[in-house]
Structure 1
Amino acid sequence: AGTGSLSVEAARLAPQGHVYAIEKNPEGIALIKENAARFSTRNLTVVEGAAPAALDGLPPLDVALIGGSGRRLPEILDIIGTRMHSGGRIVANAITMQTVAACLDYFHAHAELYTYEAIQVQISRLERVGPYDMAKALNPIYIITAQRK
């Protein structure tokens, strides 16, 4: 869950729901708790640990956001799949081609369970070069979304 920015925003957007932020690093855990308190998100619970083990005991899921998987993406997706009802959504952000490939391989292999799509987001930052403004590209981000059939 990192700093909890997505978790806090999700909790604010779904006040009737509940968000579980899984984080293994003590610094990240502290930041998530601090950000949750700053934005008064009472519907956010920090789960201390690493996925997939930290997924044990969570209630059924409507949406799962995956920002990092530590090379355990197939295991994480398997467990999420057992906890997700029909119509549930998975959103995975990826910055490496290996993670993109792992997502696509998984959803290809489980096509009977999911429909999916992938998009690439490219952001550029204007940088002053002499009298000109030049768009300098930042690294692309891939967003893979899947919906449980």
Structure 2
Amino acid sequence: MKIYNKKGLVFGVVWIALGVCNLIINIVSPEEFLSKQIKDVLIAVVVIMIGSSGFIRAFSKQATREDRMEDQDERNQLLALKTKALTLKIFYGCLGMSAIGAVAGYKLTDNPAWIPIFTVAAVLLGLLLLVELIVSIYYERSM
């Protein structure tokens, strides 16, 4: 059989492996609560089904063509671009609010436990700004 979609094949194998590992873990060390055990088994079955779908589609020429057309669809690309941009804005806001909240918490309580929270938020915010600057320079030079 010829593999038409290598990425889909890897996706399917990884998901099947995750589902089988989850199923084996549920069988070897079952949960005490029956409802949680049933939920874990159902999740494992769903993950295996998702993986097997990707695995089977990797060998179909028509399914691979449909997947590629869907990936190249302008509407899907625009939706992904807008989603990522909004996610980045929300992440900026959350990090900024965390840093401001940590500084306010430290000022109000004089508890040094707020300092690591501020440090992590500030370092992540700085790293995010640095990555955005580097990507911006990269795209300015390539166009």
- Normalised by the length of structure 2, the TM-score is 0.26
Q: Which structure has the greater CA radius of gyration? A: 2
Structure number with higher relative contact order (C-alpha < 8 Å, ≥ 6 residues apart): 2
When you count strand as a share of all residues, which structure comes out higher?
Answer: 1
